[in-house]
């Protein structure tokens, strides 16, 4: 085979990038159809792709921050009150871009930082990754989008495993994105209500966000 980039004799194939545990029989049978490269071009291609991925992630996270800020502005939030928190979250996003999966998580982080609620983002527990762990409040905070409407059984089982791992004194707080769209500043109040109601049963979420 010849190098896809320069036409010299190829020594490596993109097939080599597939982890062995993920290689299926059909992959092996078609390995000669993958793009192949000489050593020099292969290294250059991988370096360029790595650079592009990093730039893509950077731009994606900036777009998340922009969307979060625009959402807060539409709610009538005084942005100057939250300026320090927004800048702090922006710094974290630059240092650890994997900590955020959506603009709603960015909004939640801004509210937590502003209210000086210590949080561990994208925290791994019981084989799962939770959006926020609030250790001092003994709360796991999850931001739920529309897809969670169809996975209640899964989420319930997941929550039980997480609580068993952390201890029964931890509470799982699930905040719907529609609430963050409506009144993001009520997030700390909602968390406080859950803490206060640990032994008292149901919480009226709509009342908190009306």
Beta-strand pair 12-13/36-37: antiparallel
Please, which pLDDT band fits residue 154 given cuts at 50, 70 and 90? confident
C-beta separation of 163 from 198 below 8 A:
no
Domain boundaries, given as residue ranges, for the chain: 38-209
Task: Please list, in sequence order, all residues whose beta carbon lies within 8 angstroms of the beta carbon of residue 117, skipping any fewer than 6 positions away.
Answer: 134, 136, 137, 188, 191
Q: Would you state the torsion angle of the CA atoms of residues 191, 192, 195, 197, taken in this order, to the nearest 10 degrees? A: -110
Please, which pLDDT band fits residue 192 given cuts at 50, 70 and 90? confident
**Stretch (H or E) spanning 174:** strand 171-176
pLDDT at 19: 86
pLDDT at 47: 97
The C-alpha atoms of residue 38 and residue 41 are separated, in whole angstroms, by: 5
C-beta separation of 178 from 163 below 8 A:
no
pLDDT at 145: 81
Task: Please list, in sequence order, all residues whose beta carbon lies within 8 angstroms of the beta carbon of residue 104, skipping any fewer than 6 positions away.
Answer: 68, 143, 145, 177, 180
pLDDT tens digits for 166-183?
A: 986 888 999 999 999 999
pLDDT at 202: 53
Q: What is the DSSP letter of 30?
A: T
SS3 197: coil
Percent of residues, the chain, with pLDDT higher than 90? 62
Residue 189 has, within 13 A of its CA and on its CB side, a CA count of 13
The C-alpha atoms of residue 107 and residue 75 are separated, in whole angstroms, by: 12
Question: Which residue spans within the chain are E strands per DSSP?
Answer: 12-13, 36-37, 120-125, 128-134, 139-144, 171-176
C-beta separation of 98 from 60 below 8 A:
no
Please, which pLDDT band fits residue 31 given cuts at 50, 70 and 90? confident
């Amino acid at each position: 085979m010849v190098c896809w980039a320069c036409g010299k004799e190829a020594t490596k194939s993109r097939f080599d990038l597939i982890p062995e545990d993920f290689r299926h029989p059909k992959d092996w049978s078609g390995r000669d159809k993958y793009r192949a490269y000489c050593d020099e071009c292969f290294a250059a291609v991988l370096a360029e792709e790595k650079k592009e991925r990093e730039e893509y992630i950077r731009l994606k996270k900036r777009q998340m921050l922009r969307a979060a800020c625009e959402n807060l502005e539409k709610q009538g939030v005084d942005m100057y009150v939250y300026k320090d928190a927004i800048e702090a979250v922006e710094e974290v996003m630059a240092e650890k871009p994997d900590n955020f999966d959506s603009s709603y998580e960015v909004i939640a982080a801004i509210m937590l930082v502003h209210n000086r609620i210590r949080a561990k983002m994208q925290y791994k527990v019981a084989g799962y990754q939770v959006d926020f762990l609030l250790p001092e409040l003994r709360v796991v905070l999850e931001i739920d989008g529309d897809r969670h409407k169809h996975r209640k059984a899964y989420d319930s089982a997941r929550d039980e495993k997480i609580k068993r791992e952390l201890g029964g004194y931890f509470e799982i707080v699930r905040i719907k994105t529609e609430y963050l769209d409506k009144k993001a500043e009520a997030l700390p109040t909602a968390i406080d209500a859950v803490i206060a109601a640990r032994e008292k049963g149901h919480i009226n979420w709509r009342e908190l966000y009306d």
